[in-house]
Amino acid sequence: MGPTSRNHKSSQKDAAPNKAKPPRYPQRNRSITASASAFASPAVANSRVAKEKPSSSIAGEGEPQETVLKHPSTPTLPARMAKLVPLEGLGCEAAVGSLTPSREREYKVTNKHIEGRRPVYAIVFNFLDVRYYDIFATACGPRLSTYRCLMNGKFALLQSYLDDDMNESFFTVSWACDIDGNPLLVAAGSTGIIRVINCATEKIYKSLVGHGGSVNEIKSQPSNPSLIISASKDESIKLWNVQTGILILVFGGVGGHRHEDFHTSDIYRFLSCGMDNTVRIWSMKEFWEYVEKSYSWTDATSKFPTKFVQFPVLCAEIHSNYVDCTKWLGDFVLSKSVENEILLWEPITKEENPGEGHIDVLQKYPVPGCNIWFMKFSCDFHHNQLAIGNRDGKVYVWKVQTSPPVLIARLNNPQVKSAIRQTAVSFDGSTILACTEDGNIWRWDEVDHPTVPVPSKKQK
């Protein structure tokens, strides 16, 4: 499922409705409008409006929409999935962080921006290119926007895109790159169509069709940002080449997942999580030849031999409820369930028998009021600190790589009363953004610690 909640004990009034009504924007053009283009060349930047190509086509392609093989091939590899559970007993206790803020860094609210009348489900900084570290993107209803964080606490709107389908509700947005290094904005939501926008040319680059349900998450490969994975309500995860528009691999099977994250250093591995309460680790190493083939494929994209992968390398039964966010921390894993906490854990398997092993839960980061589905945390570039919002409009900022965990700050404001769906932490952690259920974007900036004057000793 997407942000929509089932009739489950974790469901709350803050959960998104099944079909959100389109926002009432005042006569907005169905185009990408750039008020201040940070991506385009001077020739392109002078053209402020770039009309979108038909949503049913893949830009530059003439073949049909279908990109998934009708008859999945049988996996060539036997199932070697390790099913792991946490260790219990003396000496296996996890270090639990205190909810008393250390105040190592002080933050203050510097901006509130009204994005629209529909929930803002996604917000993300661009960490793929040092030129754009201060630029972030948002997803609100059928609209995608990019902004630059200014030094005075304000935002500068760079580009805005409004989808052809006004009933579209974007649930996720991510950054990618083409082979020339141009920034691409990749987003998807309730319709299941993945939009790829070239921010340099201000045009739709690709529209990827292949999912049979809403798409909840998209992530790009940090080492190869032309590769993205998408997780959908149709219980499948798909690997795409956005440069060619080819669907390379499909990861699925019973109890497929709806959120994922690439490993930062291992190009072959990624995480997934979902409503079956598990976190899974998948490997693409055995199928990497298909990835390489996707760059040189000259035939129609629908004829590409898409490979189906049914078995993960590892399935971790680490949570007892829905898991909606996960992230690598080196070879450790950060995962969040609707149980008001984030866990840091290590999967341990035996080399001689990969099917055996256990899970070592190292730390717990409490997050009160975070028991509804689809609330995502974020980290700074170096994963030194983590920010997560809750249903009451508070943001908890944790220092990740300390034991026990240290709560740096608890951010709140009397005007923030709606659930925070996602946060975005800047490159160095000095700025924290949060998007809310009521269509707002909030900004907190670090303030200098006050200097306490030291009284001089009186001379006798």
- Residue 386: strand pairing partners: 379, 398
The residue among 85, 47, 21, 34 whose CA lies nearest residue 314 is: 85
Band (pLDDT 50/70/90 cuts) for residue 310 is confident
The whole-angstrom separation of Cα 354 and Cα 346 is: 15
Name the residue with higher pLDDT: 289 or 260: 289
The residue among 170, 171, 183 whose CA lies nearest residue 133 is: 183
- In terms of residues, how long is the chain? 460
Q: Compute the mean pLDDT over every residue in the chain, rounded to the nearest whole number.
A: 82
* Alpha helices by DSSP H, 208-366: 288-296
Determine the average pLDDT of the residues in 52-72: 39
Q: In CATH, what is the architecture of 95-446? A: 7 Propeller (2.130)
Determine the average pLDDT of the residues in 108-125: 96
Cis peptide before 404 (omega within 30 of 0): yes
User: Which tens digit of pLDDT belongs to each residue from 121-177?
Assistant: 999 999 999 999 999 999 999 999 999 999 989 999 999 999 999 999 999 999 999
User: Which tens digit of pLDDT belongs to each residue from 426-437?
Assistant: 999 999 999 999
Please give the distance of CA 143 from its chain centroid, rounded to a whole number. Answer: 17
User: Which tens digit of pLDDT belongs to each residue from 345-404?
Assistant: 998 877 666 667 788 999 999 999 999 989 999 999 999 999 999 999 999 999 999 999
Nearby residues of 219 by Cβ (< 8 Å), 6 or more positions away: 174, 228, 229, 260, 261, 262, 270
What does the DSSP 8-state code read for residue 29? -
